[in-house]
Structure 1
Amino acid sequence: MKDIDADYYGYRDDDDGILIPLEQVAEKNAKQKAITEWKVDKANENNNTEDDEENIYNVNDSSDEEYITDSSWEKFAVQIPVPTQHDVEQALLRRRKQELLEKYGALSEEDK
């Protein structure tokens, strides 16, 4: 265990001058391979048209109409009352007033 130093962990592998040229050749080959693959992918992408992809922003989708025009929807009734915008605003205002009263009303009673 006493002989373990930087050489053991490979920290000075670059000092002999052999590894750096080998890494440069390997890096050059890897870059060339990546560029070639990118060019092939780019060429394939240009050959494919955008018609292959589904248009997720299409508003005139006829598949929705079959659900809307289905006769079963006519029998379906909503049992839940939907609050209006005014009702929601009033409920929020009441809740906020209650929170403020609890916060400041409790402080004024404790101070007395």
Structure 2
Amino acid sequence: MVERFNGRISEVVQQTRFASAEKIRQTLENHPKLYNHHIPQKALGHTTPISALKHWYKIKPELFTKRVYEHSKLDKHSVQSRHNRFVVFQLPRNTLCIHGHI
């Protein structure tokens, strides 16, 4: 599925003339939501990835360690610093995060 997603975004970028860098940024940020919520996938029985995820959540909730939402946004992590302040940062998808002391 990742290869298909990357292929589709690559096609969009190659076939579209963008008016500005801001338009490219908006397109890249909006594409995961479009792909996950609105484009049915043959491999998922002609349903969208989010619909398939919701279906699996209903029939096998034990597969999920927590309720997930906003799938197409970047992962957010918060870490408590030594001064008892919480730092929230975003990681790109597929980034390994090892939690440690700040």
TM-score bucket of the superposed structures, by smaller chain: under 0.3
Higher relative contact order (CA closer than 8 Å, sequence separation 6+) = 2
User: Rg larger in 1 or in 2?
Assistant: 1
Q: TM-score, structure 2 length as denominator?
A: 0.24
Q: Which has the larger share of strand?
A: 2
Q: TM-score, structure 1 length as denominator?
A: 0.23
